[in-house]
Structure 1
C-alpha cells in the first residue's frame, strides 16, 4: 500500500513538471517582429503568422499607435480538421495565406498586432509592431531656384532607443533641421545647385543600427523665369537672405523692385546693366545692408544682411 502511494505521488510530480516545462516552451516561442512601411504607397503590408496549427480558435488584435483607441479585435479564426473559418470584424483587413493577414499602407493602420490562440487555452503566439513613415510632400517636384524648401518625415511611434533623422547623400543635411512630435523636418534655404541630390529619411536604433531608410530626389529649376516663392527669416543680427535671379535670355540690364508691407509703395532697390557695377539702394539707416555683385547677363543676385523686421514685403525683378 505504501509503495502504491509513493508511485502515485511520483507520477503526479512528473505530470506537473512536464506541464510547467511545456508552458515555458510555448511562451518562449512567441514570434516578435517590427515592420516599417511608407504611408500612401501602393500595395499592402502583410503580417506573417506563425506556422503553429494546434488549437481550435485564434484571434488577431490591434493596438493603434495613435492612442485614441484601445486594443481592438480585428478577426477570429476557427479551426477544424477539414477547414478554417475566418471572420473579420474590421473592414480594412484580409486573409493573405495560412495565418497571414494584409492591410493597406495607411498611416492610421500602424500599431501593435497580436496573434493569439484562444481555445483550448489563451496563448500569445505572435506580436508584430508596424511603424508607418510619412514623407511630406510625398512627391518632390522641381523647386524654384532660390526658394526655401520645407520637407518633413513623420513616424507613427518613436521608441526611446530609436532616432529619426534626415541625411543628404554625400553631405551633411543643409540648413535648418528640427524635431517635433515624432516628426523630423528640414528647411533648405535658398535652393541652388548645392542642394540637388538625394535626401534620406532614416530610422536608427541602438548603436546607430539602420532600421529603415527611404529617399527622395531634390531637383532645382535652372532659372527663375515666372517663379514665385516665399522666404521666412528672423530679424536678428545674424539673419540674412539672398534673392536669386537667373535667366538665359539676352537682356542688357535688370532691376530689383521692393514693395514693403508697411507702405505698399514700390521702390527700386538695385539695378545694373550687363557686366556693370550694380546701383544699390542706400537709404538712411540701411548701413549697406543691401548688396549685389552686379548683372552678368544671366545672374543678378541681391543680398540683404542683416534682415530687419521692416524688410517684409514682396520683391520682384524686371529685365
Structure 2
C-alpha cells in the first residue's frame, strides 16, 4: 500500500509540474478577451475606450474592423511608451480626425456613424497579446430633429443601427409600450416606423431599442409633437385598397364655424367636387347619399366646434382623388389621396412550382417616387424589383414574375419610396400548396410504366433472336464465299462481300 501511495504521489507531482509548462507554451491567443459592447448616437456624443493601465508592455496597436463593410481590419495607430509619456503614430489608412488619443493608450471615438465597428487593443512588445476588445454600435435617427407634425398627416421615422446580429432585434415603442403603427426591418440595419393619420394619441415619446431576447441593450428616444396652431394646408396620403384599410380626414380651423363640408373630386376629373358630408353648428352631420362613399363614411366622435373629421373604411381603389374641406364657404384645406392595389396571377389557388406574377398599381403619380416589390427574408425585407415613376410618364404599375413559386415565397410587400423614405407599405402573403397526385392518376402512371417495360423486354427478346439467326446465316454464307474464292482464284472484291452481308440480314 505505501508503495502504491508513493507512485501515485509521484504521478501527481509530475502532472502538477506539467501544468505550468503547458500554460507557458500556450499562445497568447488562447486567452480570449471578452468583448465589451459600447453605444453612441450619431452626431450627439462619442465614446471613450478605456484599456487596462498595467500590462507590462511598451508598445501597442489599435485595430479596427468597421461595421460598414467597405474594408476589412485596418490599423488605426501604434502607441509607444517613452520615458515620460505615450506617443501615437496614426496610420494613413483611416481618417485620424475621427479619433483622438487619450491617456494610457485610451482612445476617444467621435460620434460619426461610420466609426462604428470592432476595436482591438493589442500589445506587440515585449510579447503579442490582446488586452481589450470593444464592439462599438452607432445609432442614427432620420430625420435627426423631429419637427412638430400636423394632425391627420402620415409620418415615417427611421432608426438605423450600424450592425444588428442574428441574435438581436430592433423594436419601436411608444411611451414604453408596443406601438400599433407599422414597422418593418429593411436591409438588416434599418427599421422604419410608419404612423398613419397622426392625432393626439400619437404624440409622445418613441424609442428605438436594440435588444437580445427580452433584454434591452440600448435605446434611443425622440418625441412626436403636434402643431398647436391650426392653419390651411395641403398634404398627400397613400392608402392600400384592402378590406382592413382606412383613411381619416381631419379639418381643424382657427375659429368656430357656422357651416363646414367635405367634398371630393376624382383624379383627372374636370367636373366640380361632389359633397360627401356637411355639418352646421349645433346640428348633427349629414352624410350625402349620392356618392360612392355611402355606407363607408362616418363622422368621427370627440371633435370640437373648430374641427370636422371623417372616417372612411374600407378604402377602395376608386377613392383616389382630392378631398376639400370648406368652412363657411371658403376652402380651408385639401388632401390628395393616392391608392394602391395588388393583384396575383393566377388569381386562384397557387401550386408550388408554377409561375406567378405580382402586380402593384398606383392610382396616380403627382410627384416622382420609386415603386418597389420587397421580399421578406424573416429578419429583414429586401428590394427584389423597383422602378421610378414620374408625373410625365405613363407607367403606373410594377410587375414581378416568380418563375417557380415555392413555400418560402410567402411574404412580400409593395412599397412607395420617396428618396429612401417609405410613404406606403402594402404587405402581401402568398399561399402555395404542394402538388398532390390522385390515386387514380398514380395507378394510371404505374400501369403505363409496366406496359412500357413489358414492351421493351419483348422487343429486346425478338431482336436478340433475330440477331442469332442472322449470325448463323452469316457464318454459312462466309463459308460459301470462301469456297467460291478458292474456286475462282480469289477474284471476289470487298464490296461484293459487304453487299452479300447486307442481303443476308435482309433475307433472314
Task: Give yes or no for TM over 0.5.
Answer: yes
- Residue 136 (structure 2) aligned to one of 130, 135, 153: 130
Find the counterpart in structure 1 of residue 61 from structure 2: 59
Structure 2 residue 215 is the aligned partner of structure 1 residue 203: no
Aligned residue number for residue 312 of structure 2:
304
Structure with the bigger RCO (C-alpha within 8 Å, sep 6+) is 1
Closer/same/farther in 2, CA of residues 293 and 139 from structure 1, 3 Å limit: closer
Task: Pick closer, same or farther for the CA change 1:204–1:256 going to 2, 3 Å.
Answer: same
Output the CA distance in 1 between the equivalents of 2:181 and 2:33. 45
Q: 1:29 to 1:305 in 2, by over 3 A?
A: closer
CA distance in 2, matches of 1:266, 1:35: 61
Residue 192 in structure 1 maps to residue 199 in structure 2: yes
Structure 2 equivalent of residue 238 of structure 1: 244
- When Rg is computed on C-alpha atoms for both structures, the one with the higher figure is 2
Aligned residues: 307
Q: Which has the higher helix share?
A: 2
Structure 2 portions without partners, runs of 5+? 1-12, 328-508
In the alignment, structure 1 segments of 5+ residues that lack a partner are 1-9
Shift of 1:315: 2.1
Match in the other structure for 2:150? 144
- Following superposition, the deviation at residue 159 of structure 1 comes to 1.3
Q: Does the Cα contact within 8 Å between 1:145 and 1:223 map onto a contact in 2?
A: no
Among candidates 73, 76, 81, match of residue 75 of structure 2: 73
- The residue aligned with 1:97 is 103
Partners of 1:31 and 1:125 within 8 A in 2: no
- Structure 1 distance, partners of 2:305, 2:313, is 24
How many angstroms apart in 1 are the aligned matches of 2:270 and 2:120? 62
1:171 Cα deviation after fit: 3.9
Match of 1:278 among 285, 291, 294: 285
Aligned-residue Cα RMSD (Å) equals: 2.9
Deviation of 1:264 (Å)? 5.4
2:255 to 240, 243, 249: 249
- Alignment partners' CA distance in 2, 1:93 and 1:304: 55
Contact kept, 8 Å, 1:274 with 1:296, in 2: the verdict is: no
Retained in 1: the 8 A contact 2:40–2:46?
no
Name the SS of the counterpart of 2:114 in structure 1.
helix
1:22 offset after TM fit, Å? 7.9
Contact 2:28 2:130 in 1 (8 A): no
How far residue 20 of structure 1 moved from its aligned partner, in angstroms, is: 2.4
Q: TM-score, normalised by structure 2?
A: 0.55
For the residue of structure 2 that corresponds to 1:159, the secondary structure is coil
Residue range with higher mean Cα deviation, 190-199 or 278-287:
278-287
Looking at structure 1, the residues matched to 159 and 189 of structure 2 have their Cα atoms a distance apart, in angstroms, of 9
Deviation at 1:252, TM superposition (A): 0.5
Q: In structure 1, how many angstroms separate the alpha carbons of the residues matched to 2:258 and 2:166?
A: 59
